């Protein structure tokens, strides 16, 4: 049986124009499979967190440079991307009934540290 983090990785990918931020929101759903992982092990939990972070980045547009606001406000686009990704990751992690995933996510706090296993 396949397990998916379905709507948990629904991210509002904020593609915001400088003047009309509220009118330019796009939603993208990304599913992350973890049927092959044992979430009661550190390796399984970390692998899922890497997958979640990659899916969240994808759902949020891939990178700040793809935001329409990037050409006029790259720092704003980077902040919007970071916020979008963090919100998507938090929603996904909170939807998973696996205490070790929550613990590792909370103690690491960022994709780079989770992916690096530190």
Identify the pLDDT of residue 9. 41
Q: Are 9 and 35 in contact (CB under 8 A)?
A: no
Comparing 70 with 99, the larger pLDDT belongs to 99
Cα atoms in the Cβ-side hemisphere of radius 13 Å centred on 77: 17
> What is the domain range of residue 37?
4-116
Q: pLDDT-derived band of residue 103, with 50, 70 and 90 as boundaries?
A: very high
CA proximity to 18, closest of 77, 66, 62: 77
Cα–Cα distance measured from residue 88 to residue 29, given in angstroms and rounded to the nearest whole number = 10
**Number of domains into which the chain is organized:** 1
Q: Both ends of the chain: CA-CA distance in Å?
A: 31
Quote the percentage of the chain above a pLDDT of 90: 32
- Looking at 8-12, 51-55, 78-82, which range is the least confident one? 8-12
């Amino acid at each position: 049986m396949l397990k998916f983090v379905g709507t948990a990785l629904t991210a509002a990918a904020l593609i915001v124009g400088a003047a009309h931020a509220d009118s330019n929101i796009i939603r993208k759903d990304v599913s992350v499979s973890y049927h092959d992982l044992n979430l009661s092990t550190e390796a399984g939990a970390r692998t899922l967190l890497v997958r979640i972070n990659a899916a969240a980045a994808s759902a949020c547009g891939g990178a700040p440079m793809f935001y329409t606001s990037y050409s006029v406000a790259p720092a704003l686009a980077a902040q919007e991307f970071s916020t979008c990704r963090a919100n998507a990751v938090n929603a996904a992690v909170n939807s998973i009934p696996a205490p070790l995933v929550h613990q590792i996510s909370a103690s690491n706090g960022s994709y780079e540290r989770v992916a690096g296993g530190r």
